[in-house]
Amino acid sequence: MKLHAPSALVTLGVVGLAAFLSTWITSCNATVVSPHPLPPDSRWLTYPGAEGPGAGKHIVLIAADQEYRSEQSLPMLARTLSEHHGFHCTVLFSVNADGLVDPTKKIRWEDKEIIHDIPGIEHLREADLLILFSRLITLPDEQLAPIHDYLDSGKPIIALRTANHGFIDFRYEIDGHNVSFGDDVLGGSFRGHHGRWHQDSTRGIIVEENRGHPILTGVSDIWGPSDVYRTYEEGGSLPPGCVPLVMGQPLMSRNHDDPPNEDLIALPVAWTKTWIGKAGKSARVFHSTMGSAKDFESAGLRRLLFNACYWCLEMETQLRENSSVEILGNYYPLASGFNYAELGVVPHKPAYYR
**What domains are there in the chain, each with its CATH number?**
43-353 (3.40.50.880)
| Three-state secondary structure call for residue 260 | strand
Tell me what pLDDT residue 32 has.
Answer: 55
**65-81 pLDDT per residue, tens:** 999 999 999 999 999 99
CB 89 within 8 A of CB 68: no
Tell me what pLDDT residue 33 has.
Answer: 73
Instruction: Give CA–CA dist 79/86, Å, rounded.
Output: 10
Tell me what pLDDT residue 17 has.
Answer: 44
Cis, peptide link before residue 268, omega less than 30° from 0: no
Instruction: Give CA–CA dist 35/204, Å, rounded.
Output: 37
Percent of the chain surpassing pLDDT 70: 91
- Residue 158: pLDDT band (50, 70, 90) is very high
**169-183 pLDDT per residue, tens:** 999 999 999 999 999
pLDDT at 19 over 60: no
Instruction: Give CA–CA dist 113/92, Å, rounded.
Output: 23
Tell me what pLDDT residue 13 has.
Answer: 52
> Which residues, at least 6 apart from 2, have a Cβ–Cβ distance to it below 8 Å?
none
> Which residues, at least 6 apart from 284, have a Cβ–Cβ distance to it below 8 Å?
156, 157, 272, 274, 311, 312, 314
Tell me what pLDDT residue 7 has.
Answer: 44
Average pLDDT score, the chain = 92
pLDDT at 27 over 60: no
pLDDT at 217 over 60: yes
Percent of the chain surpassing pLDDT 90: 89
Q: How far is CA 233 from CA 65, 160, 183, 194, 239, in A?
A: 24, 20, 12, 11, 11
Instruction: Give CA–CA dist 177/174, Å, rounded.
Output: 5
CB 142 within 8 A of CB 171: no
In this prediction, residues 14-28 reach a mean pLDDT of: 44
In this prediction, residues 211-237 reach a mean pLDDT of: 97
| Three-state secondary structure call for residue 132 | strand
The two beta strands, 282-288 and 157-160, are: parallel
Q: How many CB atoms lie within 10 A of CB 102?
A: 21
Query: C-alpha angle 47/352/86, rounded to 5°?
Result: 15
In this prediction, residues 154-167 reach a mean pLDDT of: 98
**325-338 pLDDT per residue, tens:** 999 999 999 999 99
pLDDT at 156 over 70: yes
Tell me what pLDDT residue 177 has.
Answer: 92
- Residue 18: pLDDT band (50, 70, 90) is very low
pLDDT at 347 over 50: yes
Tell me what pLDDT residue 15 has.
Answer: 43
Tell me what pLDDT residue 14 has.
Answer: 45
| Three-state secondary structure call for residue 116 | coil
- Residue 24: pLDDT band (50, 70, 90) is very low
**97-111 pLDDT per residue, tens:** 999 999 999 999 999
In this prediction, residues 181-193 reach a mean pLDDT of: 98
pLDDT at 248 over 50: yes
In this prediction, residues 158-178 reach a mean pLDDT of: 96
